Amino acid sequence: MQISERKGISKPDWLKIRPIFGDTYREVKNLISEMNLHTVCQEATCPNISECYSARTATFIILGDICTRGCRFCNVKKGKPAEYDLDEPARVADACARLSLRFAVITSVTRDDLSDGGAAIFAETTRLIKSKIPTCGVELLIPDLMGNIDALESILDARPDVLAHNLETVPRLYRRVRPKAQYQRSLDVLKASSELREGIIVKSGLMVGLGETEEEILQVVADARDHGCQVLTIGQYLRPSEWHLPVEQYYPPEWFRHIKAEGEKLGMRYIEAGPLVRSSYLAHKQVAAFKHKVNG
């Protein structure tokens, strides 16, 4: 079952959520503003922002808030970034401590203007969080670093618990959806991560609703599996604005249960799938579910 946006059908009920804007939400929002930090929750207009902030979780964006790429699905600002802020890692670590986080998710805009893609800042942020809160798990959701394996290794040297890099869509749609990315390069990031650091959890994510077929989705699952990915998220693409690509179809909750089952039959260790699932959405629960499944 699929519902096409192009036929003028409104957003289905399963994608309509009632936000929670209580005291904890406001506390987290104010702290992030006070410390001059950015979160993917705000920059990417995530539909889960009220739930995550209310659970005292957030996905921090480092390296500023301006991306050097112009992907047609993403709501993060595009353009020429300023110099990166050397104090940003310390502020992120302080925010994690003030929020008493047990699990921190750090991502970034893509910085193709930097020789290492921002790897040094990812590494420093990870080290400072681990130093300030030794019990806090760290998940990094990184860009492709233009395939720079040395830069990737410097990130892995900081010992994050999870290394995530999203494939985002099926290879046939790359030119339209993320024109400056390369499918094989992203697969190579996953493979190198799994090979360079034993014991790390390697993770990726997919959006659906952009015109892909189920056969193509399952091929991506198989490709990711073959390149060391252990955890995969699958969620519905939602159009942030008229400039962005339209939704080609909406998938109902039962389809996500189906694709999870089919993908895990192919050997993907753990799949989190649902209309509102995002790579960083309650990521600590995804990791806990993966570990429970693997370790029994």
Give the pTM. Answer: 0.89
Please give the backbone phi and psi of residue 275, each rounded to the nearest 5 degrees, phi first. Answer: -55, -40
Higher pLDDT, 172 or 14: 172
* DSSP-based three-state secondary structure for 235: strand
Q: Mean pLDDT across the chain, nearest whole number?
A: 87
Q: What is the pLDDT of residue 7?
A: 46
Residue 106 pLDDT class (50, 70, 90 cuts)? very high
Is pLDDT above 80 for 240? no
User: Which has the closest alpha carbon to 263: 211, 224, 294, 237?
Assistant: 224
- Averaged pLDDT for residues 229-249: 91
For the residues 183-203, what does the mean pLDDT come to? Answer: 97
pLDDT, tens only, 65-104:
888 887 777 777 788 887 788 899 999 999 889 888 888 8
Give Cα 115 to chain centroid, integer Å: 22
Burial of residue 78 (number of CB atoms within 10 Å: 0-12, 13-18, 19+)? middle
Q: What is the pLDDT of residue 176?
A: 93
What local confidence, expressed as pLDDT, does residue 54 receive? 66
pLDDT score of 20:
66
Residue 49 predicted with pLDDT over 70:
no
Check whether 119 has a pLDDT greater than 70.
yes
Residue 203 in tokens = 């993770």
Tell me the pLDDT band of 175, cut-offs 50, 70 and 90.
very high
Sorted by sequence, the CB contacts under 8 Å of residue 172 that are 6+ apart come out as 212, 216
Domains of the chain: residue spans and CATH: 17-295 (3.20.20.70)
